[in-house]
C-alpha cells in the first residue's frame, strides 16, 4: 500500500501539471494520503515507503530514498461506543461499514438523516451516503429493490425486519427438525447394524434434510451400511 500511495501521489501531481494551471514559480499542492481500511483483521502493513527499502538509514544513499507515507484509518480498530459519541460523517461512515442487525441499521439511518437535517449544503455527500445505505440494505437482501430516498429505505427496513424474523424462526425450526431426524436415523441404524463408527455419525449429523430423508427411506431395504450410504452424500 505504501508503494501504491506513492504512485497515486505522482499521478495526481502529473495531472495537476498537465492542466497547465500552475503559474511560473508556483509549487505543487500539498497532498494527504489517507487509507481507509474496513477489514476484519487489524492493519499491520508499513505506512511509509522508507520501511520497505532494503537500505540502512546510515547509508549515504538514504537521503535520496522516497519518504512517502500515508495516514491510516482502521475502521475496525475504533470501538463502537466511541464512534457513536462522535457527531461526524466520518464516524457515521465507519458505523455503516460495520455489520448490523436490521433494527440497528434502521436506527443508524435515522442518525444519518438527522445529521443532514442539522447541516445543510452537503447534497453531494448526502447522495453518497444514500448509496452507502442502499448497499448496506442490499447486503441483507440482494434481490430487493431499494428506493432512492433514505426515509423510504428506513420504512423498508422496518418491513424487511419483520420478514427476516419470520424467516429466521422458520429456518431455526427446520434446522431443529433435521437434527432430530438425524439422531432418529442414527438410533434406527444402530438397532439394525450395531454401533456406528464416529466418522459416519458425524456425516449423518452434518447432512442436509434431503440426505437424511433419503437414508431413512432406504434404511429397511439396505442390506448393509455400505449400501445404505453409498449413493447419497
Q: Which of 106, 100, 98, 102 is nearest to 164 (CA)?
A: 102
Three state DSSP letters for 41-66: CCCCCCCEHHHHCCCCCCCCCHHHCC
Contacts of 233 (CB under 8 A, 6+ apart): 207, 211
- pLDDT value for 127: 84
Query: Mapping DSSP to helix (H, G, I), strand (E, B) and coil, where does residue 162 land?
Result: helix
Q: Please give the average pLDDT of every successive group of 10 residues along the chain, which has 233 residues.
A: 94 94 92 86 91 94 93 83 83 77 75 85 84 73 65 66 55 62 82 83 85 82 83 50
- pLDDT value for 232: 47
Rounded to a whole number of angstroms, the distance between the first and last alpha carbons of the chain is 45
d(CA 135, CA 97): 10
Please give the model's pTM, rounded to 2 decimal places.
Answer: 0.50
- pLDDT value for 233: 44
The DSSP annotation for 84-114 comes to HT--SHHHHHHHHHS---HHHHHHHHHHHHH
Q: Which of 105, 107, 103 is nearest to 165 (CA)?
A: 103
Instruction: Say if residues 150 and 184 touch (Cβ distance below 8 Å).
Output: no
Q: Which grid cell is 143?
A: 434481490
Q: Which residue has the cell 433419503?
A: 214
- pLDDT value for 45: 92
Amino acid at each position: 500500500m505504501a508503494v501504491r500511495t506513492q504512485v497515486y501521489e505522482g499521478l495526481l501531481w502529473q495531472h495537476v501539471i498537465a492542466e497547465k494551471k500552475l503559474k511560473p514559480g508556483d509549487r505543487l499542492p500539498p497532498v494527504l494520503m489517507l487509507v481507509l481500511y474496513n477489514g476484519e483483521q487489524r492493519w499491520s502493513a508499513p505506512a511509509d515507503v522508507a520501511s520497505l527499502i532494503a537500505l540502512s538509514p546510515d547509508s549515504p544513499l538514504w537521503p535520496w530514498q522516497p519518504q512517502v507515507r500515508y495516514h491510516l484509518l482502521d475502521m475496525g480498530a475504533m470501538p463502537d461506543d466511541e464512534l457513536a459519541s462522535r457527531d461526524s460523517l466520518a464516524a457515521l461512515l465507519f458505523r455503516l461499514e460495520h455489520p448490523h442487525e436490521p433494527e440497528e441499521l434502521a436506527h443508524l439511518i435515522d442518525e444519518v438523516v438527522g445529521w443532514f437535517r442539522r447541516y445543510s449544503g452537503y447534497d453531494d455527500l448526502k447522495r453518497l451516503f444514500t448509496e452507502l445505505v442502499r448497499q448496506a440494505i442490499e447486503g441483507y437482501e440482494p434481490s430487493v429493490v431499494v428506493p432512492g430516498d433514505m426515509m423510504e429505505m428506513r420504512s423498508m427496513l422496518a418491513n424487511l425486519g419483520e420478514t427476516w424474523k419470520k424467516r429466521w424462526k422458520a429456518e431455526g425450526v427446520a434446522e431443529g427438525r433435521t437434527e432430530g431426524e438425524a439422531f432418529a436415523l442414527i438410533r434406527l441404524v444402530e438397532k439394525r447394524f450395531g454401533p456406528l463408527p464416529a466418522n459416519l455419525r458425524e456425516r449423518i449429523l452434518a447432512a442436509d434434510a434431503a440426505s437424511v430423508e433419503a437414508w431413512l427411506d432406504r434404511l429397511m431395504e439396505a442390506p448393509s451400511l455400505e449400501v445404505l450410504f453409498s449413493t447419497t452424500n
